Amino acid sequence: MLIRFGHEITVSCQVPTPMVCLVAPHQERLADMVRPETVTTWPQTPIHSYFDLFGNLCRRFVAPAGDFTFASDAVVRDSGNLDFIPYDAKEIPIAALPDETLMYLMGSRYCETDRISQIAWDTFGHTPNGWARVQAICDFVHNHIKFDYQQASSTRTAWDAYHQRTGVCRDFAHLAIALTRAMNIPARYVNGYLGDIGVPVTGPMDFAAWMEVFIGGRWWTFDARNNIPRIGRIVVARGRDAADVPLVNSFGPHLLKSFRVWADEVDAA
């Protein structure tokens, strides 16, 4: 299967404004590229790229005053398989976890494990070890939060989402991550492209957020927002929560003028 994916974002700045964007496909997909990513800006602006501490590709530039558009387009080869379900994956005792996973047990900006720990153990302490426990958390979050674009908030935390019971995909991910970490299972935040391949089209596309959980000796995908296996995920960035992987980090005020994202199956022609 071939998937064409990309974005076109236009912002308006009153003065030249430094920005860092995390919208490029993760380097793990480079070998799958059928048509490499083409990056364009209007007006043309120099871009400097670097990798952050989590291995994500970041693009750094100074948006000029006025309207500024940055866009990308690429084609990637995908297996076309649904997300794999690791039914037999078990939790690993904390003492045996790899060192690099330990940071994903800790509380973070949007995932307050200290505040939600008792709720987690009261709700999921009786569930079976491993995949079944993580899936129980996803089932709970999926049913607990009402998806509503109109209620999006850049400051809503997992604790807020638990009590407000509304939000967008990042809120589903944050609450699921906080509950999973509270159960002593490493969980990390992921954002990326996820088109409506194999499912009904639900409206204009946006970047998606989900989580990866370390059980059975490796990281596995879990998605509390959709809560069903999906086709064609294209990871952009991973971190502790959304604070680590903002799509656009602007060092000054700007106005979002337009925002378009696509991830569609295409034929070889």
Residues of the chain with CATH 2.60.40.2250: 2-79+247-266
- Per-residue pLDDT for the chain (269 aa), expressed as one digit of tens each? 999 999 999 999 999 999 999 999 999 999 999 999 999 999 999 999 999 999 999 999 999 999 999 999 999 999 999 999 999 999 999 999 999 999 999 999 999 999 999 999 999 999 999 999 999 999 999 999 999 988 889 999 999 999 999 999 999 999 999 999 999 999 999 999 999 999 987 777 889 999 999 999 999 999 999 999 999 999 999 999 999 999 999 999 999 999 999 999 999 87
Q: Does domain 94-244 have CATH number 3.10.620.30?
A: yes
d(CA 168, CA 150): 9
Task: Give the DSSP H/E element, type plus range, for residue 114.
Answer: helix 113-124
Give 224-236 as a 3 state SS string.
CCCCCCCECCEEE
Residues of the chain with CATH 3.10.620.30: 94-244
Q: Are 192 and 208 in contact (CB under 8 A)?
A: yes
Domain 2-79+247-266 is in which class?
A: mainly beta
Backbone angles phi, psi at 59, to 5 degrees: -115, 130
Q: What is the largest CA-CA distance in the chain?
A: 57
